Amino acid sequence: MIDVIEIQKILPHRFPFLLVDRVVKLDSGKSIEAYKNITITEQIFQGHFPEHPIYPGVMIIEGMAQAGGILAFKSMDEAGQNDTKDKVVYFMSIDKAKFRNPIKPGDRLVYKLNVLKHKGAVWVLEGKAYVDDKLAAEAELKAMIVDK
């Protein structure tokens, strides 16, 4: 299990844009399961429908990407590539994005990502987001690890 303190050592993101609260499973080079607790205090709800708060799809995708970044960096560390402190993850593409159910305050958004392909600095991930075991969103993400 990786808590938010450790996550902040891995990712450069900070409040209000750190979108992973905890990692609960990590299989190096293969998969990750992480989550974010969605609360009414999220700044995004001030403008994303104050009368009807819905967590934006773009934030769901970004949260999946951050979980994927944790997977990539931890996998590289375990493979002995300890130079990750000088690296950052860049999005290359988002494909097959679908939003199935709205995310609302009070939900626990669970990210589950599997590595489809990893070659050199490029990672291709299948990402799915769930609330109460119901699929809320999915996408295929491609990212590259680059020097800062």
Which residues are the active-site residues? 48
Distance CA 112, CA 101 (A): 16
List the beta strands (DSSP E) in the chain: 22-27, 31-37, 87-99, 108-119, 122-131, 134-147
Q: And the tokens for 62?
A: 């970004």
In DSSP terms, 113 is beta-bridged to: 32, 127
Distance CA 53, CA 123 (A): 33
Distance CA 52, CA 15 (A): 23
DSSP letter for 2, please: B
H-run or E-run covering 80: none
